[in-house]
């Protein structure tokens, strides 16, 4: 499939790039997408939650009342979960929520996500650009030119575009990543995907292996 290349002013440059059908025009595999997004979100969890259970509570170990003759249930410890200040039953413990996925499945998921965006015509190919110095106003002008000011956008640029990244990092709806960090969740979470013209070859190389 061919997509027109636009400049930072939103003008058509008259050139078109060929996007590989093997990456941008496949039949999306929804289950692969689900698993890849699930893994991404699971990896974001810190897993540092901890509640004090019976063994973690400070308190006397003496038997708090006699076994029989009280007319109430037996009680052997002040740290029992049934008493105020006692330990929690089966409380959360620190854990790692991450899980492994096959590389081929992750590649299929990312191809599927890009194909979904391409089918919806939500991919923009942008002529390569850079800033001499970080300036948020210049990046906002690009968003306005591309009509992305009020939309979630994902810019996939070269790793060398540090000034562009610094210009955009305090904007809520704009996300800048390099081709090596492109993932299924970020693609699907954006309304529009903006691909730098020079990144397309690298994306196709990474996702076609």
Sign of the alpha-carbon dihedral angle for 134, 137, 141, 143: positive
Note whether 103 and 146 are same-domain residues.
yes
Same domain assignment for residues 111 and 182 = yes
Q: Would you call 145 helix, strand, or coil by DSSP?
A: helix
For residue 158, what pLDDT is reported?
A: 82
Positions of the chain with pLDDT under 50 = none
Q: What is the mean pLDDT of the chain?
A: 92
Residues 27 and 38 in one domain: yes
Structure tokens at 189: 């979470």
pLDDT attached to residue 209: 67
Picking from 65, 96, 127, the residue at the C-terminal end of a domain is: 96
100: left (phi over 0), alpha (psi -120 to 50) or beta: beta
* pLDDT tens by residue, 162-187: 899 999 998 999 999 999 899 999 99
Token pair recorded at residue 83 = 């008493």
The range of the structural domain enclosing residue 37 comes to 2-45+98-207
Same domain, 77 and 14: no
For residues 133 and 177, state if they share a domain: yes
- Hey, is 174 helix, strand or coil? strand
Please tell me whether residue 106 adopts helix, strand or coil conformation: helix
- Would you state the pLDDT for residue 91? 93
Question: Domain total for the chain?
Answer: 2
Question: Tens of pLDDT along 60-90?
Answer: 888 999 999 999 999 989 999 999 999 999 9
**What is the CATH number for 150?**
3.40.1370.10
What percentage of residues in the chain have a pLDDT greater than 70?
100
Write down the pLDDT at residue 7: 92
Query: How big is the chain by its Cα radius of gyration, in Å?
Result: 27
HSE-CB at 182 with a 13 A cutoff on CA atoms is: 29
């Amino acid at each position: 499939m061919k997509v027109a290349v636009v400049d930072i002013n939103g003008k058509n440059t008259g050139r078109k790039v060929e996007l590989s059908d093997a990456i941008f025009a496949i039949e999306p595999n929804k289950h692969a997408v689900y698993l890849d997004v699930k893994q991404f979100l699971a990896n974001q969890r810190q897993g540092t939650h901890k509640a004090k259970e019976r063994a973690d509570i400070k308190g006397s170990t003496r038997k708090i009342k006699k076994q029989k003759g009280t007319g109430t249930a037996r009680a052997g410890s002040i740290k029992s979960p049934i008493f105020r200040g006692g330990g929690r039953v089966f409380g959360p413990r620190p854990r790692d929520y991450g899980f492994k996925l096959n590389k081929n499945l992750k590649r299929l998921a990312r191809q599927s996500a890009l194909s979904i965006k391409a089918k919806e015509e939500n991919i923009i190919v942008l002529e390569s650009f850079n800033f001499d110095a970080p300036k948020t106003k210049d990046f906002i002008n690009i968003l306005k030119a591309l009509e992305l000011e009020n939309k979630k956008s994902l810019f996939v640029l070269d790793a060398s575009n540090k000034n562009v990244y610094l210009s955009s990092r305090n904007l809520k709806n704009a996300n800048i990543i390099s081709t090596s960090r492109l993932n299924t969740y970020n693609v699907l979470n954006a309304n529009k995907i903006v691909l730098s013209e020079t990144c397309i070859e690298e994306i196709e190389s990474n996702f076609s292996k």
